[in-house]
């Protein structure tokens, strides 16, 4: 009987028993509030953790070369291995299936100046896809592009702090800086979250660098970003095939652990993911614990409420309330209070998490704590459903009490 | 109106059982005002509770207005109580957070009567017991006599076949008792069948028939020349 009359009767009971309503509502709201806050803090911890690893793209592989440590196929040990343009081309065509972008990185440092200012900077000869690997964000202008590579242009992209150092607040775009006895046109300025050093770098087309370094075809490091959709397994397979292929191509003993080095985010990713899922387990565990405590709290309140109302229920039965209507009344009231206060707790919790934002980042490593609305609502619904179940037993017991027993003593 | 044959009732107390009613035979005609007397513990309330379907009988038969009362489950008993019976208790048993009017409307709520009609009817009955002005007061704001009159209004509001009252004057002083008994006599004069449990001779003398219980049986059952309460 979910009639309007039933609701009016329940509202009246609620209105006239404010303390009881407040106590049970408060418990439920507090339970949900604690759940939301703990769960949100867990997510905030994970945010902080993920930020640590976000500076470099996750789907990246670094190929470096060094000296061999074993003799092989007529070659001496301690031979210097270097990557060149052919390696770059062969790798990109052979592993096209896995590769999203590939770029060399020729690193050195040199003196660069503008007018009277000059400084020593890291300089990197790179290709266009290097931008993605380093997650370089352009503040103005553009990054190194394909035309720069093809035409071996003397265009450079400089870090924010390079511009600040050399141009003293002036706009650097379109101006010419000097380096290695030549002048270079600034076509872009970038920023980077990685820290000061990352913003004191100058990028130039690798082909131009090769040209001025006595027409070499050496490329230094090779950086590959693989397609994310190949997944962790695909990345590991790719890495193994790539290592085998390069060792073959460069005549390196397959058992030689030196000569070439491949570092991939995939192997690191796995460890990160494990840590993240441990965190997730802890969060879920705490969440479920809080919910359980909430359910136990509601059950206790229901037992208390029914006990307190025993006499009233006896009177109601004496004047004609059926057991069903008694159970219905108690449950409906409980569900109503649980629902309202559950959602109040939910929204206070969410508001609190929003208020926290990054206030706890420095000291407690909690960044932007949040809870999916659906998780919050699910938790609230679970509490309501289990609260109703928990309320059902005492309600049923109350409905079974004989009216004379409820009315005795007085 | 009420027919009882060979009624037995015992209470189990652990391994013992207390045989309270040992074969009661008893009829009540419509319009009677019956006093059930006896010393404390003689089984008066037990009998009244069985008549009121608040408790179950062990053996015997009970017919109310020609309807055999048997195989009572809780729901059926609740519906019969609601339709056929009105109760008045020694301790009033009003719901303490509800006003006088709300207490009186409650039986109608369980009959499914709509709110407007409930309140109109309840107010009428409060008026009959002289408490119209007290409709919005809580029980805690009423005197004992007023509380009992609210309880009588609540018992009457569904127009029951029988009014059952257990020591309804037990908590009241003698003047107030007389006032309440006047009201009971008025209701009886209008044709209502009423059973009153009491251990006070004064109160019993205000009824049309006196039934005396002793050791679980009816010891004496005789007509009485009713004395006006006031
Ligand atoms: N629910 C019960 N369980 C056990 N014993 C009961 C119960 N109700 C009444 N009694 C016992 O039955 C006897 C009759 O009780 P009752 O009918 O209340 O007497 P009265 O109303 O005449 O004083 C008493 O001895 C009382 O203790
Ligand atoms: Mg008694």
Looking at residue A154, the DSSP 8-state letter turns out to be -
Residues A174 and A132 both lie in one domain: yes
A318 CA to middle of ligand 1, Å?
A: 18
A215: left (phi over 0), alpha (psi -120 to 50) or beta: left
Count of the separate structural domains present in chain A: 3
Contact A66, A82 (CB under 8 A): no
Decide if pLDDT at A363 tops 80.
no
Residue after which a domain boundary falls, among A211, A237, A258:
A258
User: How far apart are alpha carbons B94 and B149 in whole angstroms?
Assistant: 11
- Residue of A311, A322, A410 with shortest CB distance to B78: A322
Q: Which domain holds residue A186?
A: 104-220
Q: Per the CB < 8 Å rule, is B89 touching A407? A: yes
- pLDDT value, residue A11: 87
The interface pTM score, or ipTM, of the predicted complex is 0.92
Q: Hey, is the C-beta of A319 within 8 angstroms of any chain B C-beta?
A: yes
Say how many C-beta atoms besides its own lie within 10 A of residue B15's C-beta: 5
Sequence-distant (≥ 6) Cβ neighbours of residue B168 within 8 angstroms = B88, B89, B90, B148, B151, B152, B180, B184, B196, B198
Decide if pLDDT at A410 tops 90.
no
- pLDDT value, residue A384: 86
Q: Which domains does chain B have, with CATH numbers?
A: 2-223 (3.40.50.300)
User: How far apart are alpha carbons A388 and A336 in whole angstroms?
Assistant: 10
Strand locations in A127-168, DSSP E?
Answer: 137-141, 155-159
| A58 located within any domain | no
Q: Per the CB < 8 Å rule, is A315 touching B115? A: no
pLDDT in tens, A288-347: 888 888 888 888 888 888 888 888 998 999 898 999 999 988 888 888 888 899 999 999
Q: Hey, is the C-beta of B106 within 8 angstroms of any chain A C-beta?
A: yes
Residues A397 and A282 both lie in one domain: yes
Q: What is the mean pLDDT of chain B?
A: 92
Q: Hey, is the C-beta of B83 within 8 angstroms of any chain A C-beta?
A: yes
Contact B86, B160 (CB under 8 A): yes
Contacts of B81 in chain A (CB under 8 A): 318-320
Residues A89 and A234 both lie in one domain: yes
pLDDT in tens, B154-210: 999 999 999 999 999 988 999 999 999 999 999 999 999 999 999 899 999 999 999
Residues A167 and A25 both lie in one domain: no
Residues A85 and A205 both lie in one domain: no
Say how many C-beta atoms besides its own lie within 10 A of residue A281's C-beta: 10
| A347 located within any domain | yes
Residues A78 and A189 both lie in one domain: no
Decide if pLDDT at B129 tops 90.
yes
Q: Per the CB < 8 Å rule, is A319 touching B107? A: yes
Percent of chain B whose pLDDT exceeds 70: 100
Which A residues, 174 through 233, put their C-beta within 8 Å of a C-beta on chain B? none
Residues A239 and A173 both lie in one domain: no
Question: Which amino acid residue places its CA nearest to atom 5 of ligand 1?
Answer: B11
- Residue of A12, A318, A324 with shortest CB distance to B87: A318
**SS (HEC) of chain B:** CEEEEEEEEEEEECCEEEEEEEEEEEEECCCCEEEEECCCCCCHHHHHHHHCCCCCCCEEEEEECCEECCCCCHHHHHHHHHHHEEEEECCCCCCCCCCHHHHHHHHHHCCCCCHHHHHHHHHHHHHHCCCHHHCCCCHHHCCHHHHHHHHHHHHHCCCCCEEEEECCCCCCCHHHHHHHHHHHHHHHHCCCEEEEECCCHHHHHCCCEEEEEECCEEEEEEECCCCCCC
Contact B102, B137 (CB under 8 A): no
Residues A160 and A18 both lie in one domain: no
pLDDT in tens, B82-93: 999 999 988 899
Residue A45 structure tokens: 């911890």
Residues A339, A343, A344: CA angle, nearest 5 degrees: 115
Residue A31 structure tokens: 């339970």
Contact B224, B204 (CB under 8 A): yes
| A299 located within any domain | yes
| pTM of the shown model | 0.68
- pLDDT value, residue A271: 64
Contacts of B102 in chain A (CB under 8 A): 12
Residues A45 and A8 both lie in one domain: yes
| A265 located within any domain | no
Residues in chain A: 410
User: How far apart are alpha carbons A314 and B138 in whole angstroms?
Assistant: 19
Q: Per the CB < 8 Å rule, is B55 touching A404? A: yes
Q: Per the CB < 8 Å rule, is A318 touching B54? A: yes
Contacts of A315 in chain B (CB under 8 A): 93-95
Do strands A221-226 and B16-28 pair parallel, antiparallel, or not at all (unpaired)?
A: unpaired
User: How far apart are alpha carbons B196 and B44 in whole angstroms?
Assistant: 10
- pLDDT value, residue A247: 92
Q: Per the CB < 8 Å rule, is B79 touching A324? A: no
Residues A72 and A129 both lie in one domain: no
Residues A249 and A294 both lie in one domain: no
User: How far apart are alpha carbons A186 and B155 in whole angstroms?
Assistant: 98
CA Rg value for chain B: 17
Q: Hey, is the C-beta of B107 within 8 angstroms of any chain A C-beta?
A: yes
Do strands B67-68 and B59-64 pair parallel, antiparallel, or not at all (unpaired)?
A: antiparallel
pLDDT in tens, A116-154: 888 899 999 999 999 888 888 899 999 999 999 999 999
Q: Hey, is the C-beta of B11 within 8 angstroms of any chain A C-beta?
A: no
| A305 located within any domain | yes
- pLDDT value, residue A270: 62
For chains A and B, count residue pairs whose Cβ atoms are closer than 8 Å.
Answer: 70
- pLDDT value, residue A31: 87
Q: Hey, is the C-beta of B87 within 8 angstroms of any chain A C-beta?
A: yes
Decide if pLDDT at A1 tops 60.
no
Residues A92 and A237 both lie in one domain: yes
Mean pLDDT of A11-24: 85
| A351 located within any domain | yes
Decide if pLDDT at B2 tops 90.
yes
Distance from B47 to chain A by nearest Cα, in Å? 12
| A141 located within any domain | yes
pLDDT in tens, A261-276: 988 766 666 666 677 7
| A59 located within any domain | no
């Amino acid at each position: 009987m979910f009639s309007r009359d039933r609701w009016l009767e329940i509202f009246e009971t609620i209105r006239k028993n404010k303390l009881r309503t407040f106590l049970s509502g408060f418990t439920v709201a507090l339970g949900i509030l604690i759940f939301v806050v703990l769960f949100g803090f867990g997510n905030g911890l994970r945010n902080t953790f993920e930020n640590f690893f976000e500076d470099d793209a996750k789907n990246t592989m670094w190929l470096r070369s060094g000296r061999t440590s074993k003799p092989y196929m007529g070659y001496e040990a301690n031979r210097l291995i270097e990557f060149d343009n052919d390696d770059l081309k062969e790798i990109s065509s052979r592993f096209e299936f896995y590769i999203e972008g590939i770029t060399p990185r020729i690193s050195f440092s040199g003196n660069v100046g503008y007018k009277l200012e000059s400084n020593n900077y890291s300089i990197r000869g790179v290709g266009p896809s290097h931008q993605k690997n380093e997650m370089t964000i352009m503040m103005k202008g553009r990054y190194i592009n394909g035309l720069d590579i093809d035409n071996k242009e003397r265009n450079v992209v400089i870090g924010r702090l390079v511009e600040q150092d050399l141009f003293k607040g002036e706009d650097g775009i379109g101006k010419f800086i000097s380096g290695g006895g030549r002048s270079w046109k600034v076509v872009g300025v970038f920023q980077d979250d990685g820290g000061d050093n990352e913003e004191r770098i100058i990028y130039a087309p690798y082909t131009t660098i090769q040209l001025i370094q006595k027409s070499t075809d050496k490329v230094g490091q090779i950086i590959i970003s693989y397609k994310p959709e190949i997944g962790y397994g695909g990345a590991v397979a790719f890495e193994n095939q790539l290592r085998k292929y390069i060792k073959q191509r460069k005549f390196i003993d397959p058992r030689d652990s030196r000569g070439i080095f491949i570092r991939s985010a995939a192997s690191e990713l796995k460890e990160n993911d494990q840590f993240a899922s441990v965190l997730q387990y802890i969060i879920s565990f705490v969440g479920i614990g809080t919910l359980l405590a909430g359910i136990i709290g509601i059950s206790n309140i229901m037992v208390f409420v029914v006990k307190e109302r025993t006499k009233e229920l006896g009177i109601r039965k004496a004047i004609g309330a059926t057991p069903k209507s008694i159970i219905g009344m108690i449950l409906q009231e409980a569900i109503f209070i649980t629902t309202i206060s559950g959602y109040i707790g939910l929204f206070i919790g969410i508001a609190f998490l929003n208020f926290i934002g990054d206030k706890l980042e420095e000291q407690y490593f909690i960044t932007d704590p949040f809870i999916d609305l659906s998780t919050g609502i699910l938790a609230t619904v679970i509490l309501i459903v289990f609260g109703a179940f928990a309320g059902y037993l005492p309600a049923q017991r109350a409905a079974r009490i004989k009216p004379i027993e409820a009315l005795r003593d007085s | 109106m009420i027919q009882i044959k060979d009624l037995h009732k015992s209470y189990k107390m652990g391994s013992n059982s207390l045989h309270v009613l040992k074969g009661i035979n008893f009829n009540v005609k419509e319009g009677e005002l019956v006093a059930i007397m006896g010393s404390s513990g003689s089984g008066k309330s037990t009998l009244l509770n069985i008549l009121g379907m608040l408790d179950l009988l062990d053996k015997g038969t009970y017919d109310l207005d020609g309807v055999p009362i048997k195989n009572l489950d809780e729901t059926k008993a609740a519906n019969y109580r609601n339709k056929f019976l009105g109760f008045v208790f020694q301790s009033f048993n009003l719901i303490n957070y509800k006003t006088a009017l709300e207490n009186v409307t409650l039986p109608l709520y369980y009959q499914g009567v709509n709110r407007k009609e409930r309140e109109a009817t309840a107010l009428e009955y409060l008026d009959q017991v002289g408490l119209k002005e007290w409709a919005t007061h809580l029980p805690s704001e009423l005197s004992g006599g007023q509380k009992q009159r609210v309880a009588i209004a609540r018992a009457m509001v569904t127009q029951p076949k029988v009014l059952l009252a257990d020591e309804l004057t037990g908590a009241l002083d003698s003047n107030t008792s007389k006032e309440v008994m006047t009201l009971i006599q008025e209701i009886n004069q209008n044709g209502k069948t009423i059973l009153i449990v009491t251990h006070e001779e004064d109160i019993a003398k205000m009824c049309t028939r006196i039934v005396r219980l002793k050791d679980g049986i009816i010891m004496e059952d005789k007509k009485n020349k009713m004395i006006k309460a006031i």
